[in-house]
Chains A and B, each alone.
Chain A
Amino acid sequence: MWTFIHKLGSPPWFFGFSGTLVRWLLPVTVTLLLVGAVWGLLVAPPDFRQGNSYRIIYIHVPAAVVALAGYYVMAFAGAVSLIWRIKMADVTMRAAAPVGAVLTAIALVTGAIWGKPTWGAWWVWDARITSMLILLFLYLGVVALFEAYENKTAAARACAVLSLVGMVNIPIIYKSVDWWYSLHQPASIKFTGESAIDSSMLYPLLLMILAFYCLFALTLLLNMRAELLWNHRDSGWLKQLVGDI
């Protein structure tokens, strides 16, 4: 286990490992997304109150769930980078930020589209929507902050601090439906006990959540590989790799 973690910090090893992983993840992600989308759009029954508009759930909820999970990845990488000064942690943090931003934006946009036929409005300043909007700004803030600094070591440190401070927002998003009067319903899927959603709707939803997790891992790895290729363009291991192929 420790040797594995130790290896993750080594760019040449990571580059080879992520290359193999990406070759598997790409077809798996595409297949899961397509199967999940067809299942959710065409096979699952309509909701008895919302009709067919509820089908947006199959992209809205997975995007939101993984946007939140992605923030943990980014903040954790930021903490590792601050404490141990590991370069690979910086790369991970920076690769996660744009992915998280896109997923949060998808959750907000699909939520707005779903809100129109369901609540009668594209946008309301509901506690959960507002806290998700803050999440989007945090992700974009990390991207922008890194670009703002000339000194990239200082930039990485500032981004790590920002992402750690932003962690405060995560429990607020989770608890927003319980703490405030919200248009969002409380959680329907529970790890313990009966879920308040029929299995004919639950299975495609779980499949789509899995698909979005795979997508997050895939795009994170791709961004990291692109970054590593450029950062290590003068390294011996990379020159050897290019020469071998």
Chain B
Amino acid sequence: MYFESLAAVWHMDGHGFYVWLAYALTALPLVLMVWLPLKRIRQHWRWLQAEQRRSAAATQSTAMGSDV
């Protein structure tokens, strides 16, 4: 650990604003870059599951219809 106190970490001898701004502006897109495709994958997966239930229900109802 180079710094002596939390305030020193924050201040960084006057460069704190630049350093923390740079890290914040990096962290945000990095998180989005991983989170957005994960969300898309989950949505597509749910859509596929729903689609499968729909088609299963459709075949079942036609099968029942043919009995009558």
A63 touches B44 (CB 8 A): no
Docked CA distance A222–B42 (Å): 11
CB-CB under 8 A from B22, the residues of chain A are: 56, 59-60, 109-110, 113-114
- Quote the shortest CB–CB distance from B24 to chain A (angstroms): 10
Select one of B18, B23, B34 contacting A37, CB under 8 A. Answer: B23
B30 near A: Cβ within 8 Å? Answer: yes
Residue of chain B at shortest CB distance from A113: B22
CB pair A44 B2 closer than 8 Å: yes
Let me know if A99 and B33 touch, CB within 8 A: yes
B37, CB-defined interface residue at 8 Å: yes
With a CB–CB cut-off of 8 A, which chain B residues contact A207? Answer: none
Interface residues on B, range: 20 to 34
Can you list, as one digit per residue, whether each of A103-118 has a CB less than 8 Å from chain B (1) or not (0)? 0011001100110110
Alpha-carbon distance A33/B23, docked complex (angstroms): 12
**Contact flags (1/0) for A56-83 with B, using CB distance below 8 Å?**
1001100100000000000000000000
A102 engages B33 (CB within 8 Å)? yes
Which residues of the partner chain B approach A105 to less than 8 Å between Cβ atoms?
29
Chain A contact residues (Cβ within 8 angstroms of B): what range? 35 or more
For residue A51, CB closer than 8 A to chain B, the reply is yes
User: Do B19 and A53 touch (CB < 8 A)?
Assistant: yes
Asked if A128 is at the interface (CB within 8 A of a chain B CB), the reply is: no
Residues on A with C-beta less than 8 A from B40 are 226
Give B17-68 interface residues, CB cut-off 8 Å to A: 18-19, 21-23, 25-26, 29-30, 33-34, 37-38, 40-41, 44-45, 47-49, 51-52
* B15 engages A222 (CB within 8 Å): no
State how many angstroms separate the Cβ of A4 from the closest Cβ of chain B.
Answer: 24
Interface residues of B (CB under 8 A from A): 1-3, 9, 12-16, 18-19, 21-23, 25-26, 29-30, 33-34, 37-38, 40-41, 44-45, 47-49, 51-52
Residues on A facing B (Cβ under 8 Å): 26, 33, 37, 41-46, 51-53, 55-56, 59-60, 63, 99, 102, 105-106, 109-110, 113-114, 116-117, 215, 218-219, 222-223, 225-226, 229-230, 233, 238-239, 242-243
14 contacts between A and B (CB under 8 A): A42-B2, A46-B2, A51-B12, A52-B13, A52-B15, A52-B16, A55-B12, A59-B23, A106-B29, A110-B25, A110-B26, A215-B34, A218-B34, A226-B40
